[in-house]
Chains A and B, each alone.
Chain A
């Protein structure tokens, strides 16, 4: 599937009657997402915004979904994801934060061996203006266009997408990888898809301190990406050894500094913006 989702994406929401699940289901419907069923054990037979609610993912398969948004509390995420994997769902997005990373490891590898895409946990999801949105990104910041964005953040992604849109550009795909140390997608994997996506002409990567996701992306760009890539890195001023909000945003034993990531990008010919607002200018250059 190019760019992971399209107009044929049919979404179920696991945890549709919860606080997060219900609010974002309404927002997704407004964006045009085909939400075909909700799963909340014990609530079968009721409806939410006209969407049928069932007790299990297996029952939801009657509505022919191919993607799920998991919005259940952290202790229940692994079970919810396993249920979706077992039922044969092809794309799993986990909204929930604070999922134990050992659970994410199990979910990721079980999904990987079955060719299932995992997005998140602890990210804002994926949006393709004009096609669909799975997740929690605010609807009003998007305009259909040719800039693809991949980010490890939530609100910082909105800030940058908003700046891109205000400056006359538009977005092909915006994807939030998630702020945890273990997430379903890396920049490298997303770059492969963006490079092949005919809707995408330019690529924006929004990284942050912690891990080596950006350094690996820079190596990959050198060899395999022909499209223009620009970047922003959050955490230049962060002290080492402190977790800056995201579980994954920490400089440990000298690994994961902003300087190392900026240098890697510069070496790969990727310009790095000093401020989020500078991204449109780099796209225009």
Chain B
């Protein structure tokens, strides 16, 4: 889960990473007296806010009032701005970069830093980036910070500040179950202070149960994907016309791939998960039908999820939702005979192998 900039900065302050003085407003009436100049920052989760006009600098109360009015309720990169962060403008001497992420291959957190801040790290040349892995059993220790400050060529006083920031950032990364903490830019001010001018914090979704106080809706998710998430399904909307229900993430991906290779166009990814319940199948149909597919493919390899349960779910869904679209079913694995029997009694043919089912559903779509 992505946090808004102001939420990330609240965490920064809590863990000892300096940020500019500031506060959040949701309406004109929230404005408080400030010392100008200030920066007015739209709180949206997508990058490129500055370029799309979501960040303004105000030199007096009049300008602040105007920008607040202008930005609140406006659309920045397609999203409505409901909150603004108003902060003291900082005098920038230099912008640097620091982040902590997970290195999957090494199975360790990795600190990434660069003297070239303020731009996307992907655009910075490799020789301007330092990457240091952290052994989770050892955690952060000053020797790690020293490698980085040396690379960044910081003087003694700035090194001291930087190392405190990295130490704080690592504590935050671990204690708040982060996938990513990124400060870009980390600003060295004209009076020699190091301050986080922006924040990007992503919390691991699997750990949200122990961070219940935070809740942000992913702006990249569609309404149907949000509904699916609330109902506990792994579901992704795609651009095509064939609704897909399968079990297991790998098999579901393989089903979409096989459809695509056969010039079929999947409408969605839906993984039933490792459960065995008629209701879960019926509710999956409910979701997929809302995406208005022209045909539906069910591809099940029964294990924990049994084929007869899925068959009963299909029959029930067909009745309850009065499904008119063609349904093509493949059932293999545990209780496959029973499952195909149940479907046959209800006038639905089921395949025992995946490829004939893929071919059949693509053919049905072609006929429509």
Contact = CB atoms under 8 A, between A and B. Distances in A.
Given A158-B303, A159-B354, A238-B256, A75 B333 contact: no
B257 A245 contact: no
Nearest to A137: B303
Interface string B281-304: 000000000000000000001111
Nearest to B333: A138
Contacts of A108: 107
B250 A154 contact: yes
Given A159-B254, A234-B250, A238-B253, A244 B269 contact: yes
A155 B251 contact: yes
B206 A239 contact: no
Interface string A231-268: 01011111101111111110001000000000000000
Contacts of B353: 277
Interface string B2-30: 00000000000000000000000000000
A179 interface: yes
A257 to B, nearest CB: 13
Contacts of B266: 237
Contacts of B261: 236, 274-275
B137 A109 contact: yes
A105 B177 contact: no
A276 B261 CA distance: 13
28 contacts: A23-B304, A105-B136, A113-B137, A138-B302, A153-B249, A154-B303, A155-B247, A156-B251, A156-B253, A158-B333, A206-B250, A211-B104, A212-B104, A212-B105, A213-B104, A213-B105, A216-B105, A234-B250, A234-B251, A236-B257, A237-B257, A238-B256, A243-B234, A244-B234, A245-B234, A253-B122, A275-B254, A277-B355
Interface residues of B, number: 52
Given A102-B177, A109-B107, A138-B302, A208 B250 contact: yes
A256 B333 CA distance: 31
Interface residues of A, number: 63
B361 to A, nearest CB: 15
A212 B41 CA distance: 37
Interface of A: 23, 74-75, 97-102, 105-106, 108-110, 113, 136-138, 140-141, 151-159, 162, 179, 181-182, 186, 206, 208-213, 216, 232, 234-239, 241-249, 253, 274-277
Nearest to A239: B238
B354 A277 contact: yes
Contacts of B205: 247
A207 B267 CA distance: 23
Best-surrounded residue of A97, A274, A276 (most CB of chain B within 10 A): A276
B128 interface: no
B301 A159 contact: yes
Contacts of A208: 249-250, 253
A245 B102 contact: no
Given A100-B206, A109-B107, A237-B257, A246 B249 contact: yes
Given A113-B137, A138-B302, A253-B122, A155 B250 contact: yes
B365 to A, nearest CB: 16
A262 to B, nearest CB: 11
Interface of B: 102, 104-105, 107-109, 122, 135-137, 174, 177, 179, 204-207, 209-210, 220, 234, 236, 238, 246-254, 256-261, 266, 269, 271, 274, 301-304, 332-334, 353-355
B354 A244 contact: no
Given A102-B174, A138-B333, A275-B355, A179 B136 contact: no
Given A158-B303, A276-B354, A182 B104 contact: yes
Contacts of B137: 106, 109-110, 113
B335 to A, nearest CB: 11
A107 to B, nearest CB: 10
